[in-house]
């Protein structure tokens, strides 16, 4: 599926740079040692804001939940309807979620709870974007 | 006059605050609604500003108050969630010139300021207090109740309006572009529709409790039935069609398991109320409906979307806050009017309240029992957004009208209307009001 391109901004430049190197990094608060995603300019749990770093994670996760999108607001994705849209929970911290179209998984046949690993797919402007594929048993 | 956004201190976000200090001392009296329509037809007299003035004047008339007695105005400045004036689209100068415009040419057309309303309602000569309650009527009601209780205003209007333009909701702007900035890209590249998050929570709920989407049909049918008895609403005015299980279950998916009818229909509408102190309300034209409490949730999910665990923890917390501040228990509720747009989260609100003793996972079974306005356990007697279109207002109007005994064909008959609760929107992050026919 051809996703829209990405123009990295100041906050997310490290995330997208790492993706182009096929590495998954997630924001981490040095002070309370907690991952947070989506990224933000301050730690959500530290009253003083916390010092944030980008931490490389394992790129392993499980499929937590999914829906099937039949009527998508994003024009570029409309030709691919209907498509799976799953939420992945990271093995590094199962409170942290990422979206996935689950390439290769037939529509509405999503194995909830299955193990997945991160892959990187080019978007419309070539920026690599994290995606997830089911790990064969 | 500069209008501030309500400060955090006006909301009751925390547990353990005790009974609300103004319990029973603030009342809603007047109700006003403008006619609804599906989309704006471009005429000055139907723009969102014009229909707002219409609703406000009706609320004033309904309460029987002289306009110069009104000293407060609370406004929800945002009038859409997904219908935006496209950049570069020519301004409708004929409309703009029909009103006393503010510095913002889209004021009264695609948004609403208190300043615009006061410039175009010359009869409001004594308004000294204005405030914004962002987002929803639910929020603005909390602000109004607190403001009247705190003595910032003694006779206060509160209004929420919606505009809707040509074209499909959410499909313009960034969604039509070839690239996204890096921060929104992290959440929006995958193209989930607005109802996607709710659909996922519902899917998890069904897996956990062994329920299914078709069990929603009873709720949907009841909600539309109630909506068709709501003469102020969109379906009653324009499309008086029942919504039976066959039609509901045959409708197309938007984000499975959310279908078309699980997504409320965007409309043009305006709803307004007149609030006052209980003392002053006693002399007004309608029976006062007393505010026992207002409560809010500002909880955010840990990551992208709320999990079912997060939803249940927060709706339960909200229920406790609602009851604590009102000094009541679930047994005191005559009916409930929690939010339903999207329909697939109404059960979360219901279970958090413990309405009629139901526990987590039981609401869909409860829907299969008698939940009608004639029965002992009315669910959403307003019919909500399902029954009357996207407004997030019907639930509040219904609470007031039920407790005043003037809900007409929607009047609950299986219970004595004494205490009702309304509010939303989402299970995480919402604002709630407890209404009562009596101040104590
Ligand atoms: Zn921290």
What chain A holds in terms of domains, given with CATH numbers, is: 9-56 (no CATH), 58-137 (2.40.50)
Which of A88-102, B15-29, B80-94, B104-118 shows the lowest mean pLDDT across its residues?
B80-94
Percent residues over pLDDT 70 in chain B: 100
**Minimum mean pLDDT among B146-150, B169-173, B209-213, B292-296: which range?**
B169-173
Q: How near does any CA of chain A get to the CA of B28, in Å?
A: 38
Rounded Cα distance between B301 and B60, Å, is 40
Query: Ligand 1 center to residue A65 CA distance, Å?
Result: 27
Summarised one tens digit per residue, pLDDT across range B207-223 is 999 999 999 999 999 99
Q: From the CA of A98, how far away is ligand 1's center (Å)?
A: 20
Pair type for strands B335-338 and B419-425: parallel
Backbone Cα Rg of chain A: 16
Could you give the angle at the alpha carbon of B112 between the alpha carbons of B142 and B434, nearest 5°?
A: 15
B369-393: average pLDDT:
98
Report CA(B187)–ligand 1 centroid distance (Å): 22
DSSP string, B75-144: E--B--SS----TTPPP-HHHHTTS---SSTTBTTTB--HHHHHHH-TT-----EEEE--S-HHHHHHHH
Reported pTM: 0.97
**Cα(B288)–Cα(B273) distance, integer angstroms:** 12
Whether residue B1 is predicted with pLDDT greater than 80 in this model: the reply is no
Distance CA B145, CA B352 (A): 23
Please give the pLDDT value at position B350.
98
Contact B71, B131 (CB under 8 A): no
Going from the first residue of chain A to its last (137 residues), give the mean pLDDT of each consecutive group of 10, the final group possibly shorter: 95 98 98 96 89 97 98 95 98 97 98 98 98 91
pLDDT band at B82 (very low <50, low <70, confident <90, very high): confident
How many contacts, defined by CB atoms under 8 Å, are there between A and B? 137
Residue of B nearest to A64 (CA): B204
CA distances in angstroms from B163 to A132, B259, B386, listed in the order given? 40, 23, 18
CA of B44 to the centre of ligand 1 (A): 51
Is A112 an interface residue toward B (CB < 8 Å)? yes
Nearest chain A alpha carbon to B305: A97
- The pLDDT of residue A96: 98
pLDDT at B182: 97
- pLDDT at position B167 is 82
Taking only residues 290 to 319 of chain B, the set having a beta carbon closer than 8 angstroms to any beta carbon of chain A reads 300, 302-305, 307
The pLDDT of residue B170 is 80
Chain A's closest residue to B252, CA to CA, is A70
pLDDT at B168: 82
B contacts of A15 (beta carbons < 8 Å): 182, 186
ipTM of the complex model:
0.97
Asked if pLDDT for residue B4 goes beyond 90, the answer is yes
- Looking at residue B194, the DSSP 8-state letter turns out to be T
Q: Which residues in chain B have Cβ-Cβ distances shorter than 8 Å to A124? A: 178-179
A6 and B180 in contact by Cβ < 8 A? yes
Q: Is A41 exposed, middle or buried (0-12, 13-18, 19+ CB in 10 A)?
A: exposed
Digit-coded pLDDT (tens) for B184-204: 999 999 999 999 999 999 999
CB B177 within 8 A of CB B45: no
* Alpha-carbon gap, residue B145 to B25, rounded angstroms: 9
CB atoms within 10 A of CB B91: 11
Fold of B11-168+266-281: Peroxisomal Thiolase; Chain A, domain 1 (3.40.47)
Residues of B in contact with A9 (CB under 8 A): 181-183
**What's the pLDDT score for residue A69?**
98
């Amino acid at each position: 599926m051809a996703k829209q391109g990405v123009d990295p901004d100041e906050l997310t430049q490290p995330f997208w740079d790492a993706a182009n190197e096929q590495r998954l990094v997630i924001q981490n608060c040095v002070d309370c040692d907690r991952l947070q995603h989506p990224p933000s300019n301050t730690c959500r749990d530290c009253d003083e804001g916390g010092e944030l770093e980008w931490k490389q994670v394992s790129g392993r996760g499980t499929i937590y939940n999914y829906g099937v999108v039949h009527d998508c607001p994003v024009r570029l994705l409309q030709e691919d309807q209907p498509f799976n849209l799953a939420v992945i929970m990271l093995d590094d911290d199962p409170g942290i979620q990422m979206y996935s179209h689950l390439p290769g998984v037939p529509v509405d046949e999503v194995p909830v709870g299955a193990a997945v690993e991160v892959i990187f797919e080019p978007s419309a402007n070539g920026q690599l974007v994290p995606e997830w594929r089911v790990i064969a048993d | 006059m500069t209008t501030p956004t309500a400060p955090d201190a006006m909301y009751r976000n925390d547990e353990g605050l005790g009974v609300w200090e103004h319990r029973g001392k603030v009342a809603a009296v007047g109700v006003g609604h403008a006619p609804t329509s599906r989309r704006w037809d471009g005429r000055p007299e139907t723009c969102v500003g014009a229909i707002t003035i219409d609703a406000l004047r009706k609320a004033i008339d309904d309460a029987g108050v002289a306009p110069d007695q009104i000293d407060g105005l609370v406004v929800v400045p945002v009038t859409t969630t997904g219908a935006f004036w496209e950049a570069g689209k020519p301004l409708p100068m004929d409309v703009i010139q029909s009103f006393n415009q503010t510095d913002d040419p889209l004021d009264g057309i695609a948004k609403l300021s208190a300043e615009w309303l006061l410039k175009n309602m010359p009869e409001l000569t004594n308004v000294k207090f204005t405030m914004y309650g962002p987002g929803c009527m639910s929020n603005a009601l909390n602000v109004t109740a607190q403001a009247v209780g705190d003595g910032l205003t003694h006779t206060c209007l509160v209004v929420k309006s919606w505009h809707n333009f040509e074209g499909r909701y959410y499909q313009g702007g960034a969604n039509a572009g070839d690239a996204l900035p890096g921060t929104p890209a992290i959440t929006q590249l995958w193209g989930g529709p607005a109802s996607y998050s709710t659909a996922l929570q519902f899917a998890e709920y069904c897996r956990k409790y062994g329920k299914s989407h078709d069990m929603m049909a009873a709720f949907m049918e009841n909600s539309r039935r109630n909506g068709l008895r709501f003469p102020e609403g969109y379906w009653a005015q324009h499309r008086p069609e029942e919504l039976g299980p066959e039609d509901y279950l045959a409708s197309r998916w938007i984000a499975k398991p959310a279908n078309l009818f699980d997504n409320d229909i965007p409309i043009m509408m305006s709803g307004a109320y007149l609030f006052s102190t209980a003392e002053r309300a006693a002399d007004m034209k309608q029976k006062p409906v007393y505010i026992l409490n207002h409560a809010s949730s500002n909880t955010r999910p840990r990551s992208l979307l709320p999990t079912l665990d997060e939803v249940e923890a927060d709706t339960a917390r909200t229920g406790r806050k609602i009851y604590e501040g009102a000094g009541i228990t679930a047994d005191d509720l005559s009916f409930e009017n929690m939010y339903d747009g999207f329909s697939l989260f109404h059960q979360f609100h219901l279970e958090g309240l413990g309405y009629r003793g139901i526990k987590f996972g039981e609401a869909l079974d409860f829907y299969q029992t008698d939940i009608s306005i004639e029965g002992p356990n009315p669910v959403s007697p307003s019919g909500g957004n399902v029954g009357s279109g996207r407004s997030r207002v019907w639930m509040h109007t219904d609470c007031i009208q039920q407790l005043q005994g003037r809900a007409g064909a929607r009047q609950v008959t299986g219970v004595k209307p004494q205490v009702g609760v309304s509010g939303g929107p989402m299970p995480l992050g919402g604002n709630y009001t407890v209404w009562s026919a009596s101040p104590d």
